[in-house]
């Protein structure tokens, strides 16, 4: 089998790597990425340690009607949480149907 | 980079071509706003027998009425680049091809000038305005603005009785990033 580099078909979120840092949403020239997140206290800290919070991702959506597949989000992500996938994006009959919710969690 | 005055542009390019720099490489335009109040037309030509030493000519033009002679009579290939600079920066190339290159004939504006505002975006919610850990657009003290959208106090929410904002101020406030506290 010849392994091939994935072509620019689709952009996937690797959710465990995402820290909700907003860098991809800010760098996107077409404003197609929207992110909701909230903070939660970190559990399991050693006793006496100062309280810490971490960001928890609630929603990550890419609007394929706006995305121009430039890959700037993939380049800019400091945690390598976005990657190219070869398959094309799913078609939709309305512009709302082209908004792909990659993560949806009630916050 | 050799600085040429606008009146001497065509003569300088002809002289350079006669001197053996007869290969047109590129012609571009730069908006120098923020550093100088001018548009700069830049031309690079090469002598292919000494290709490591290109010559770069530049000419600064006023931002309010930028005009310069066309060099498409010297280098026919420069016409395409001049049309591009004409529609993106509003430079008039006297004697050149005046047709639009890429934009609609109805389009008004000079999209690559740095004081050009992405007006449609000023009324939209920018997804990047949220801070990490936020779900709604809350007014943050460290407010962020996207590139191309100027500070509302400079461009949008201005007092209508005031004079039009200074282009340099619009350009400076539309670079994106943290909105700086403005001197009043």
3-state SS, B118-137, equals: CHHHHCCCCHHHCCCCCCCC
Chain A positions contacting chain B at CB under 8 Å are 19-22, 25-28, 31, 33-39, 53, 55, 58-59, 107
Question: Are residues A25 and B127, on separate chains, in Cβ contact within 8 Å?
Answer: yes
Stronger pLDDT, B98 or B159, i.e. the higher one: B98
Chain B partners within 8 Å of A58 (Cβ): 135
Kindly tell me if the per-residue pLDDT of B147 is higher than 50. Answer: yes
Cα A21 from Cα B133, distance rounded (Å)? 8
Question: Are residues B146 and A26, on separate chains, in Cβ contact within 8 Å?
Answer: yes
Taking residues B27-35, what's their average pLDDT?
Answer: 93
In this prediction, residue B131 has a pLDDT band, given cuts at 50, 70 and 90, of confident
Chain A partners within 8 Å of B132 (Cβ): 19-22, 37, 55
Question: Are residues A37 and B133, on separate chains, in Cβ contact within 8 Å?
Answer: yes
Distances from the Cα of A26 to the Cαs of A21, A38, A98, B23, B126, in angstroms? Answer: 10, 18, 20, 42, 8
In this prediction, residue A58 has a pLDDT band, given cuts at 50, 70 and 90, of very high
Rounded to two decimals, the pTM is 0.73
Residue B132: which of A27, A31, A55 has the nearest Cβ? Answer: A55
Residue B128: which of A19, A25, A58 has the nearest Cβ? Answer: A25
Chain B residue whose CA is closest to A33: B127
Query: Of B174, B172, B164, which is closest to residue B64 (Cα–Cα)?
Result: B164
Q: Residue B87, SS3?
A: helix
Q: Which of A35, A58, A60, A73 to mutate to test the interface with B (most CBs of B within 10 A)?
A: A35
Stronger pLDDT, B142 or B86, i.e. the higher one: B86
What value of ipTM does the predicted structure carry? Answer: 0.77
Cα A98 from Cα A40, distance rounded (Å)? 31
């Amino acid at each position: 089998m010849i392994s091939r580099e994935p072509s620019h078909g689709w952009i996937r979120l690797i959710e465990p790597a995402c820290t909700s840092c907003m860098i991809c949403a800010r760098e996107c020239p077409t404003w197609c990425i929207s992110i909701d997140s909230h903070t939660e206290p970190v559990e399991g800290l050693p006793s006496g340690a100062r309280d810490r919070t971490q960001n928890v991702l609630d929603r990550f959506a890419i609007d394929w009607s706006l995305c121009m597949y430039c890959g700037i989000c993939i380049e800019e992500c400091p945690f390598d949480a976005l990657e190219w996938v070869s398959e094309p994006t799913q078609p939709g009959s309305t512009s709302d149907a082209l908004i792909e919710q990659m993560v949806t969690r009630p916050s | 980079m050799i600085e040429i005055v606008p009146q001497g542009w065509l003569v300088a390019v002809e002289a350079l071509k006669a001197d053996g720099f007869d290969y047109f490489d590129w012609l571009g335009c730069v908006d120098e706003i923020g550093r100088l109040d001018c548009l700069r037309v830049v031309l690079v030509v090469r002598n292919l027998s000494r290709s490591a030493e290109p010559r770069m000519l530049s000419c600064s033009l006023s931002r309010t009425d930028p005009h310069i002679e066309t060099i498409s009579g010297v280098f026919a290939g420069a016409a395409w680049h001049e049309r591009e600079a004409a529609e993106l920066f509003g430079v008039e190339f006297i004697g050149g091809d005046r047709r639009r290159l890429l934009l609609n004939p109805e389009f008004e504006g000079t999209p690559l000038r740095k004081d050009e505002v992405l007006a449609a975006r000023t009324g939209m919610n920018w997804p990047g305005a949220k801070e990490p850990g936020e779900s709604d657009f809350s007014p943050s003290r460290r407010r962020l603005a996207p590139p191309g959208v100027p500070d509302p106090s400079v461009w949008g929410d201005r007092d209508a009785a005031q004079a039009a904002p200074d282009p340099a101020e619009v350009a400076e406030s539309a670079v994106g990033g943290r909105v700086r506290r403005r001197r009043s």
